[in-house]
Amino acid sequence: MLTKTFLLLAAFCVASCATVGEKGEPTLVGRWRWTDSRHTAEYAFLRDGTFTGFVTGDGALLSKFAGKWLVREGAILYEYTSDKTGRIQAGTRDRNKLLAAAHDHFVIEAADGSVRKYVRVNGG
């Protein structure tokens, strides 16, 4: 079970490498949430190129992280700088293919091939 949870968490993270977004991509600044029947992932992308977020599974906190982000060549790149649960090592880099972006949502293809739609969280 722990291995399965870690693999799912890794898929969330691997779905995404480095610093602030390219010009023309301000739509990603804000708070975003993706959910399925068992999991929730939330990211807050800040204008200064940093992000924070968390992942829960079956109501339990799986990861609470922070890092740097940017959009480059059709992908969201992440570099994690901390994880309060210790599941993601500082310096871990991830990449999500950005399939679509609008004011109220964005769609990514994760490294595991899954497609996820994140919706803007009010106030985000």
Q: What pLDDT is recorded for position 27?
A: 80
pLDDT tens digits along 22-80: 444 448 999 999 999 999 999 999 999 999 999 999 999 999 999 999 999 999 999 99
pLDDT of 97 over the 60 cut: yes
DSSP 63-114: EEEEEEEEEETTEEEEEEEEETTS-S-TT-EEEEEEEEE-SSEEEEE-TTS-
DSSP H helix total and E strand total for the chain: 1, 8
Q: Note the Cα 64 to chain centre separation in Å.
A: 11
Furthest-apart CA atoms within the chain: distance in Å? 42
Strand 115-120 to 60-72 pairing: unpaired
2-120 folds as: Lipocalin (2.40.128)
